[in-house]
Structures are given as C-alpha cells and as structure tokens.
Amino acid sequence: LIGAAALLALGACSTLTGGEENAPAPAFNPAACGEKDFVIYFDEGQAELTEEARRIIDLQARDIRGCTIDNVRIIGLSDQDEGNQESSRQLSVRRAEVLAEYLATRASWPRTRFELLATGARGAVTAEGLDVPVRNRARIIAASHAQQ
C-alpha cells in the first residue's frame, strides 16, 4: 500500500512539470525561477537513482533551465530498517551525494552552490515508537532567479 502511494506521488510530481521527457525544451520562462522543492525516492537500502528518479529530476531541472541557481539544499534520509544508526547515516549521505553529482553533471547546476545534509534514521521513529513510513528518499530544495 505504501509502495502504491509512493508511485502515485511520483506520478503526480511528474505532471507538475508540464511535459514529458522527450518533449522539446520549453522556452525560458522567468516566472519559473524561484524555489523548487521536490522529493526523490530510492529503492530500500539503495543510493542509486532509479529511471523514474532520473526522469523526475530531469523534468524539474528543465523547468528552471535558464534561471541562475542561487543555492541547492539536498537532504538525504533513510528508514530505521535500512541498517544500524551509522549505516543509515552513511546511506543518507550517499543519497545526497548521488543527487548532487547527478544535478551538477546532468543539469549543470553549480556544485559550489550545494549544501548536503543527511539525517540517517533520526526522526524515523515517533516519540510513540511508531515508524515514519517511506523515508527512503531525499528532498531537494533549489532556489533560483531570473537574470535581470
């Protein structure tokens, strides 16, 4: 059920970008510049990007092509079930690093503007001892502006 919800969420994300990956690049739209906040999901216990993750990142980056990237915050997370505390933290770090590398290489976002954070499994369990579902993800917050 959680997997189905995640797939629906991913599908919804892709419809927000206004196009398919093979569609021609949109003309520069200064109104598209600003803050972009999106989530990329990973397979459990993995830091490699899935094809769906690459597609979503490419579409999000294409939306702000031509904007000047001010800063990019990437927050890697992991589930409590993805190892012990240290291995969960390392997995979160690796997820953030993989995303930074992909965005710098594929979207040509300036790597010097990136801030990488990793939470590991911290926050994966509530005060009541309940697991927080679907933390096998990373959040990307990119701020950009249009050149004057």
Q: What is the pTM of this model?
A: 0.75
Burial 30-53 (b: 16+ CB within 10 A, else e): eebbeebebbbbbeeeebebeeeb
Residue with tokens 């990329």: 40
4: number of Cβ within 10 Å = 8
The C-alpha torsion from 126 through 44 and 47 to 73, rounded to 10°, is -30
Beta strands (DSSP E) in the chain are: 35-41, 68-76, 114-118, 137-145
Residue with tokens 């979160």: 92
Q: pLDDT tens digits for 5-46? A: 444 444 444 333 344 556 666 678 888 999 999 999 999 889
Q: What is the pLDDT of residue 16?
A: 37
Q: pLDDT tens digits for 86-122? A: 888 899 999 999 999 999 999 999 999 999 998 876 6
Helices (H) and strands (E) in the chain, counts: 3, 4
| Amino acid letter, 116 | L
